[in-house]
Structure 1
């Protein structure tokens, strides 16, 4: 259930490539060390700025913005197991350590609160 918005956060760090007609998003970036990204404020901030359209995007960041609506609508049905696990880790980190950016991401990508209730209970 919490995987739908979680893809947002995984993509921030993993930079998912285009899903196209595939059954799953690419696992090309599943080996990214999420702990290293979370501990590097500069990298984390750059990805968040990309998603919020307040900073430049890497090619992966642009793909993320393109794929995010599909991931939200499909309840992350194309996510790999690694992406789901990493998503949970990132969501928990942002909620506990970076609540301001977490709220901004929710406001941008879930302005109507459709997915938000799934995450507020955790």
Structure 2
């Protein structure tokens, strides 16, 4: 599950040398959260069930690293965006949330870290 959070965290980000850089400094998370169709589209990209924007494609490529490092290269803003987005997907689309968990954390090795992330 942590992978999902971190994945969503990187929706507007690309990898830089030390930290992931934001694709757009003025990323408005409220726009994504208010547009369910857009949110579902991003999730379907992550699930390999739909087309990807260039930004989401970059996120998808970085997911293994993000999960393994517990988002060590993420900025505080990226972590907050990821947390909010993951909570929204979990709340409004539990079936997609379960699919993300099954795809990105099939053995459940990130479950505890993910719970800690949500409670922080």
| TM bucket, shorter chain | 0.7 to 0.9
- Higher mean Cα deviation, 3-12 or 94-103? 3-12
Deviations 1:11-70 (A, max 9, x none): 23x2x22x25x1100123353111210111121111111110011111112211111111
Give how far 1:6 is off. Answer: 2.2
Cα separation, 1, equivalents of 2:73 and 2:49: 28
1:79 aligns with 2:74: yes
Cα separation, 2, equivalents of 1:101 and 1:40: 16
Cα separation, 2, equivalents of 1:30 and 1:99: 30
1:58 aligns with 2:43: no
1:39 aligns with 2:38: no
The alignment's TM-score, normalised by the length of structure 2, stands at: 0.84
By relative contact order (CA 8 Å, sep 6+), the higher-ranking structure is 2
Give how far 1:88 is off. Answer: 1.6
Q: 1:5 to 1:30 in 2, by over 3 A?
A: farther
SS at match of 2:82: helix
Please list every run of 5 or more consecutive structure 1 residues that lacks an aligned counterpart in the other structure: none
Q: CA RMSD in A?
A: 2.1
Give how far 1:5 is off. Answer: 4.5
- The answer to whether the 8 Å contact 2:7/2:59 transfers is yes
Aligned residues: 117
The alignment's TM-score, normalised by the length of structure 1, stands at: 0.83
- The answer to whether the 8 Å contact 2:3/2:63 transfers is no
Please list every run of 5 or more consecutive structure 2 residues that lacks an aligned counterpart in the other structure: none
SS at match of 1:38: helix
Q: 1:111 to 1:34 in 2, by over 3 A?
A: same
